[in-house]
Amino acid sequence: MGKAEAGTPKWLANKMKSKGLQKLRWFCQMCNKQCRDENGFKCHTQSEAHQRQLLLFADNPNKFLSNYSVEFEKDFLYLLKRCHGTKRVKANKVYQSYIAEKDHIHMNATRWETLTGFVQYLGRTGKCLEIKEEEERQKKSKRVGHKSTKTTTEPKSIKNYWLKPNIVVKIVTRSLGEQYYKQKGYVHEVVDKYAAVVILFQLDKKLKLDQAHLETVIPAEGQPVLILNGQFRGETAILQRVDVDSYSAYLQLNASAQTVKLPYEHFSKLCPASNKS
């Protein structure tokens, strides 16, 4: 069967197919050639040009593997940096974006057999941080910040529950679905100290949530807050300024006009009456 003449429908169809992304298992990395089906790939592997490339590979396999691995790693990290920055992202999501490019290096041509192995390599070399390690680092920095901050709270006055009605909170769990993640609302009712019925502002929905799935909201300077823990628990105050380095803020108590310094988790924004349904 001869080649289709230029300009014919068959020729145009072949051109369109050649531009698209074909199946990865019919791609020859050594020759950088994409075949359209299994029969074409079989014919290619038996060709003289392919056999010459295999002989070159056999002479120095480490050189080829090293070159492909370096190029794969460089392109993968560039895509990760460009599209996701320092945000958390699943490695498979980045990999799917990477292989969507027609002229990419295939993983089976590198020293890594699986994506898991490649990610572990990035972790060992310090080029990417595991989520667990990153969370531990953030928690440690917060603990250090809190220890270096002198607050007016006494250890005996600190409770392990903090929810109060009419405070603004933010959802910090993805278990309810992405549509609820980072959504804000106000506590309509506290249930058994550790849970709350929260009415969301934007979605206009009512949810029952555990306090572990919520966090306090820091308002703008000059806005009212409610103190949720410590010596002044239950008192209202005005936020004067935020100390970002120590994860705390200066509050002026409404009752005594005294200024106190409290960590973020010990107070939250009060919900304006106009926002309540």
Which sequence spans correspond to the domains of the chain?
A: 21-124, 139-275
The C-alpha atoms of residue 203 and residue 179 are separated, in whole angstroms, by: 9
**What pLDDT was estimated at residue 149?**
41
The C-alpha atoms of residue 152 and residue 159 are separated, in whole angstroms, by: 15
Fold for 139-275, please state it: SH3 type barrels. (2.30.30)
Q: How many C-beta atoms lie closer than 10 Å to residue 217's C-beta? A: 19
* Residues facing 197 on adjacent strands: 189, 208
Which of the four CATH numbers 1.10.1420, 1.10.10, 3.30.200, 1.10.260 does domain 21-124 have? 1.10.10
pLDDT digits (tens, 9 = 90+) for 209-255: 888 889 999 999 999 999 999 889 999 999 999 988 888 899 999 99
pLDDT digits (tens, 9 = 90+) for 156-209: 578 888 999 999 999 988 878 888 888 999 999 999 888 999 999 888 889 998
**What pLDDT was estimated at residue 115?**
86
- As to burial, measured by CB atoms within 10 angstroms (0-12 exposed, 13-18 middle, 19+ buried), residue 51 is exposed
Using the predicted structure, report yes or no on whether residue 2 has a pLDDT greater than 70: no
**What pLDDT was estimated at residue 187?**
94
pLDDT over 90 percentage in the chain:
22
Lowest mean pLDDT among 43-47, 86-90, 227-231, 243-247: 86-90
